[in-house]
């Protein structure tokens, strides 16, 4: 391995959202944070060098992203995901959640139903409710320990008038890589009922060996034209602090509305550091990413077998994508407060508490595996040690 993902980089006192808030959020600064989705790894060297070049220029003026930036994005999806994106389909946005929120505002009306598949990344609910729309939940079903979509219920929601769907592809939490047939079936329903799809594919690059991400918009020209895909290099290359993302849509109508809104809010100016960083990541970060995926996959296997050996009551879901392991802790018999007590007071670890992802997340925890193995080992030891008391009670 060329890159060392087991090196500890001390992130305390770096204004880190994850590492510098344990006391404020959980009441104890010794709590080991494996929650919010950023990684404890340095970005690829080429990205660091690109940012350093920008820092060293000394003048931080208004900037443009340049033609090579969009070419780097298009090249990435062609190479990694067999998806042909035209550069005119791309627009920048400061963040995925920003794009989701603007899309809800643009492509639905106040009071409309917007479909999500629960449990799901919690800002999906926020952007619907805070825009005065209604959340139309299509709970995912568990089949053989994997989440699958409930098409009958989806069709009911669409027939009932829901015209917008927030798709999470791959899915967070749970890490499902939706397969071609599953997405096609979903797509058929969307076409039949005139539903616009906002496909959040931020986790598309973190795909475990043996699985393949299918961009929803790549399924057919018809589906491409009803889809706005939200994407970023930030999850893949650990750049979320750069606050940069983009949307892709082949629909001139969706694109024009999105661009107009971005301009209205004056969010269209290019950020100073991000285009060069994103370009470097896509053009020179591939080998780094391939090694990172092996590290994450190794951490997932380690955690799954550690839990099987030390706390078999807790059931982890097989990780197909993302670096976020979803574990079913219902056998511990704890409600949300009980799980928090176990994590923060007894085990001194912070995972994400599952009910924030929706009703179906109750009794679950989400563990961020993007850390050196030794940090994961420590967290699992703390957690299983403290949880043991509940299974023997």
Ligand X SMILES: Cc1ncc(COP(=O)(O)O)c(C=O)c1O
Backbone angles phi, psi at 299, to 5 degrees: -65, -40
CA distance 309 to 331: 16
CB of 184 vs ligand X, minimal distance in Å: 22
The site for ligand X, by CB under 6 A, has a size of 13
CA dihedral 263, 265, 267, 268 (to 10 degrees): 10
The residue among 172 and 299 lying less far from ligand X, judged by its C-beta, is 172
- Could you count the other beta carbons within 10 Å of the beta carbon of residue 169? 25
**Is 234 among the residues that bind ligand X (CB under 6 A)?**
yes
Of 26-34, 51-59, 91-99, 277-285: span binding ligand X (CB under 6 A): 91-99
**Is 202 among the residues that bind ligand X (CB under 6 A)?**
yes
By the 8 A CB rule, do 368 and 355 touch?
no
CA distance 99 to 91: 10
Pick from 31, 73, 96, 242 the residue near ligand X by CB under 6 A: 96
By the 8 A CB rule, do 380 and 348 touch?
no
CB of 268 vs ligand X, minimal distance in Å: 17
**Is 177 among the residues that bind ligand X (CB under 6 A)?**
no
Binders of ligand X in range 20-49 (CB under 6 A): 37
Of 22-30, 72-80, 93-101, 259-267: span binding ligand X (CB under 6 A): 93-101
Site string for ligand X, 308-347 (x = CB under 6 A): ----------------------------------------
**Is 168 among the residues that bind ligand X (CB under 6 A)?**
yes
CB of 16 vs ligand X, minimal distance in Å: 15
CB of 159 vs ligand X, minimal distance in Å: 27
CA distance 197 to 282: 26
CB of 179 vs ligand X, minimal distance in Å: 18
The residue among 126 and 150 lying less far from ligand X, judged by its C-beta, is 126
Collapse the DSSP code of 228 into the 3-class scheme (helix H, G, I; strand E, B; otherwise coil) and give the result: strand
**The dihedral sign for the CA sequence 13, 16, 22, 24:** positive
Q: Is 359 exposed, middle or buried (0-12, 13-18, 19+ CB in 10 A)?
A: exposed
CA distance 319 to 310: 19
CA distance 147 to 320: 11
CA distance 103 to 257: 9
Pick from 245, 274, 297, 299 the residue near ligand X by CB under 6 A: 245
**Please, which residues bridge with residue 366 across strands?**
326, 352
Of 53-61, 92-100, 211-219, 271-279: span binding ligand X (CB under 6 A): 92-100
Of 90-98, 130-138, 183-191, 327-335: span binding ligand X (CB under 6 A): 90-98
CB of 198 vs ligand X, minimal distance in Å: 11
By the 8 A CB rule, do 370 and 363 touch?
no
Pick from 41, 83, 107, 121 the residue near ligand X by CB under 6 A: 121
By the 8 A CB rule, do 319 and 300 touch?
yes
**Please, which residues bridge with residue 143 across strands?**
146
Pick from 92, 112, 200, 279 the residue near ligand X by CB under 6 A: 200
The residue among 104 and 232 lying less far from ligand X, judged by its C-beta, is 232
Pick from 39, 46, 90, 97 the residue near ligand X by CB under 6 A: 97
By the 8 A CB rule, do 358 and 328 touch?
no
CB of 173 vs ligand X, minimal distance in Å: 8
The residue among 323 and 387 lying less far from ligand X, judged by its C-beta, is 323
CB of 99 vs ligand X, minimal distance in Å: 8
What residue ranges bind ligand X (CB under 6 A)? 37, 95-97, 121, 168, 172, 200, 202, 232, 234, 240, 245
């Amino acid at each position: 391995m060329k890159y060392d993902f087991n090196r500890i980089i001390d992130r305390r006192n770096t204004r880190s959202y994850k590492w510098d808030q344990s006391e404020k959020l959980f009441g104890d600064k010794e709590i080991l944070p494996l929650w919010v989705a950023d990684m404890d790894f340095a970005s690829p060297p080429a990205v660091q060098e690109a940012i350093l070049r920008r820092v060293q220029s000394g003048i931080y003026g208004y900037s443009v992203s340049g033609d090579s930036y969009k070419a780097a994005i298009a090249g990435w999806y062609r190479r990694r995901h067999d998806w042909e994106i035209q550069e005119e389909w791309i627009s920048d946005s400061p963040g995925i959640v920003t794009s989701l929120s603007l899309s809800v505002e643009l492509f639905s009306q106040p009071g409309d139903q917007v479909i999500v598949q629960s449990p799901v990344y919690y800002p999906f609910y926020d952007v619907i409710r805070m825009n005065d729309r209604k959340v139309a939940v299509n709970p995912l079903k568990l089949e053989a320990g994997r989440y699958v979509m409930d098409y009958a219920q989806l069709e009911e929601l669409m027939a009932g008038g829901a015209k917008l769907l927030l798709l999470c592809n791959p899915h967070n939490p749970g890490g499902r890589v939706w397969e071609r047939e599953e997405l096609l079936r979903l797509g058929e329903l969307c076409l039949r009922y005139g539903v616009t799809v906002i496909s959040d594919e931020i986790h598309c690059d973190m795909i475990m060996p043996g699985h393949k991400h299918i961009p929803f918009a790549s399924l057919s020209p018809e589906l491409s034209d009803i889809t706005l895909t939200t994407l970023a290099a930030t999850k893949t290359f650990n750049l979320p602090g750069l606050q940069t993302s983009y949307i892709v849509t082949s629909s001139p109508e969706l694109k024009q509305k999105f661009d107009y809104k971005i301009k209205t809010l004056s969010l269209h100016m290019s950020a100073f550091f991000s285009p060069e960083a994103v370009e470097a990541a896509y053009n020179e970060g591939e080998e780094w990413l391939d090694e990172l995926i092996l590290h994450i996959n190794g951490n997932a296997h380690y955690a799954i077998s550690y839990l099987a050996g030390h706390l078999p009551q807790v059931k982890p879901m097989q990780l197909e994508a993302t670096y976020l392991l979803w574990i079913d802790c219902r056998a511990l018999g704890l409600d949300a407060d009980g799980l928090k007590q176990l994590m923060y007071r007894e085990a001194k670890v912070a995972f994400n508490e599952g009910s924030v992802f929706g009703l179906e997340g109750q009794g679950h925890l989400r563990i961020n595996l993007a850390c050196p193995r030794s940090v994961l080992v420590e967290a699992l030891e703390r957690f299983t040690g403290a949880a043991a008391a509940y299974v023997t009670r």
